Amino acid sequence: MENAFMIGLSRQLTLRRQMDVLANNIANANTPGFQAEMLLLEANPANRARSDDGPQRLQYVEDWGVGRDFRPGELEFTGRPLDTAIEGDGFFAVETENGDLRYTRDGRFQTNAEGLLVSTSGAPVLDDGGAPILIDIAQGPVEIRSTGAIIQNGAEIARLGVYSFEERGALQKLGNGLYAAPDGMQADLSDASVRQGYFEQSNTQPVVELTRMIETMRAYESVSRVLSQGEELSRRAIERLGRV
């Protein structure tokens, strides 16, 4: 029964991991710019336990990573002049207090005491040249055009940087809607348009995620029953052998 136990346990481990991913998606259903994730599985062939019958090779299941759904979420209108949403592929760039470049889809921007355009975490938002954006709100209303151009008093004072990556799946998720690009990964300027007065909602579909969670729970319970039945058969076999 060792083969059945090991295969069943490997499946239970991946189901528990999948439940964690689904729960995180549901928890972030209202997080602006959040992109839903899914567990990626692979079959891992291995030698069977000692036995004179049965297959020579067994297939165990393992998780080898987490994939992300990069489809844009719905845009919600706020009317706030500094809220900005990306239509299509791309990320805004921000600079952390340590000087590291990070990327996000959350465009709920504001200005700080120094007049810098910053994200909700206070990180300066960068323009298309990689420099912070300075806005003097006292100089009048700000218009953000679809090209990312920031217009004030009829003149362009800056242009929002929207960046894209050839291999988006390689981006490292850091939390708080931020991503980091691996060393050597090039960020290119994107031609995606932006919309002023909007922000992007999470692309999580709660009903779909709840359905998947129920399916995962049922699968886990099914595997548990199989393992329990296998354990009972082993116990009975040992008892019978003890009587011989």
Any idea what DSSP says for residue 108? B
Determine the pLDDT at residue 225.
Answer: 81
Q: What is the pLDDT of residues 91-104, one digit of tens each?
A: 999 999 888 999 99
Counting residues of the chain whose pLDDT is more than 70, the rounded percentage is 83
d(CA 172, CA 145) in angstroms, rounded, equals 30
pLDDT in tens, 4-27: 677 777 788 888 889 999 999 999
At 32-82, the pLDDT tens digits run 999 999 888 766 655 555 555 555 556 666 666 788 888 999 999 999 999
pTM for the whole structure: 0.79
Residue 152 pLDDT level (bands cut at 50, 70, 90): very high
- Under DSSP, the state recorded for 80 is -
Give the pLDDT confidence of 181-219 residue by residue, as tens digits.
998 898 999 989 999 999 999 999 999 999 999 999 998
Residue 166 CA to residue 185 CA, distance in Å, equals: 9
Q: What is the pLDDT of residue 168?
A: 87
Q: Name which residue leads in pLDDT, 155 or 67.
A: 155
Q: How far apart are CA 198 and CA 194, in angstroms?
A: 9
Winning range, highest mean pLDDT, from 11-20, 59-68, 158-167, 227-236: 158-167
Domain ranges of the chain: 2-71+204-243, 75-200
pLDDT band at 244 (very low <50, low <70, confident <90, very high): low
1 pLDDT above the threshold of 70: no
* Sign of the dihedral through C-alpha 108, 112, 114, 115: positive
Q: Which pLDDT value is given to residue 234? A: 67
Which pLDDT score, from 0 to 100, does residue 231 have? 67
Q: Is the pLDDT of residue 131 over 90?
A: yes
